[in-house]
Amino acid sequence: MADAIFSNIRIERRVKQVVEKIIEKQSVVIHQLSASEAEQRSYYRLLHNPRLQTSQIISYLQADCARQVEVGAHYLVFQDTTQPNFERNRRNISDQQQLGVIGDKQSLGFFLHPSLVVQADTGRCLGYSHVQVWSREAMAPDRKQRQYQKQPIEEKESYRWIQAAQASKQVLAKASALTIICDREGDISELFLQVPDNQTHLLVRS
């Protein structure tokens, strides 16, 4: 599974180790995941390795999720968006290439839209069927300047709800039924037009 995702066997092993530690420790804090200073340094080296890309980590999570799907089972897919905020650490971040501003239009950070998969009858968590990461430029045009209402859905950030649903359908293709669950941000007509089928259902807060 991971051989086609990572270009280096050592990176593959280390990523798998970190994922297992996160599940075991229920934490993403490096100091809490590490049993020793040497292990801690190895995790930091992994995160700073230019050969490890965000897209590879996402592909690994999706493949691991797909591996656990049981034929004929029903799965719940929870979508939502969060905004990691690094403003108070701005001075300590030397490489801000993949960062931008978040919802307040000034704080340093990025947007993260994951889709968490849970088996409907048992509550067992499989992991993530999709993860989308993006950032906004500080001087990007606002909705009025972009004529937001006239933009096709594919050019809007709200398209993430559809992309996540479609990607989840592919990852969970062996399932008999999917129920995709969104908050009121996902209450957009295009989602209802493009996503539901005989296998896929929507539950959206209005």
**Is the domain of 87 the same as that of 172?**
yes
**Is the domain of 142 the same as that of 74?**
yes
Q: How confident is the model at residue 126 (pLDDT cuts 50, 70, 90)?
A: very high
pLDDT score for 1: 46
Give residue-wise pLDDT tens across range 57-97. 999 999 999 999 999 999 999 999 999 999 998 988 887 87
Looking at the domain assignment, is residue 37 inside a domain? yes
**Is the domain of 74 the same as that of 35?**
no
pLDDT score for 7: 79
**Is the domain of 110 the same as that of 164?**
yes
Does position 169 have pLDDT exceeding 90, yes or no? yes
Looking at the domain assignment, is residue 60 inside a domain? no
pLDDT score for 2: 46
Q: How many domains are there within the chain?
A: 2
**Is the domain of 91 the same as that of 2?**
no
- Model pTM? 0.87
For residues 6 and 121, what is the distance between their CA atoms, to the nearest angstrom? 34
Does position 19 have pLDDT exceeding 80, yes or no? yes
Q: Which structural domain, as residue segments, surrounds residue 197?
A: 69-204
Mean pLDDT (the chain) is 91
For residues 76 and 121, what is the distance between their CA atoms, to the nearest angstrom? 10
**Is the domain of 109 the same as that of 199?**
yes
What percent of the chain is modeled with pLDDT above 90? 72
Between CA 114 and CA 74, with CA 160 as vertex, the angle to 5 degrees is 55
Q: Which two tokens stand for residue 156?
A: 């809007």
Residue 77: which CATH number?
Answer: 3.90.350.10
**Is the domain of 41 the same as that of 129?**
no
Beta-bridge partners for 113: 132
As a whole number of Å, the CA-based R_g of the chain is 19
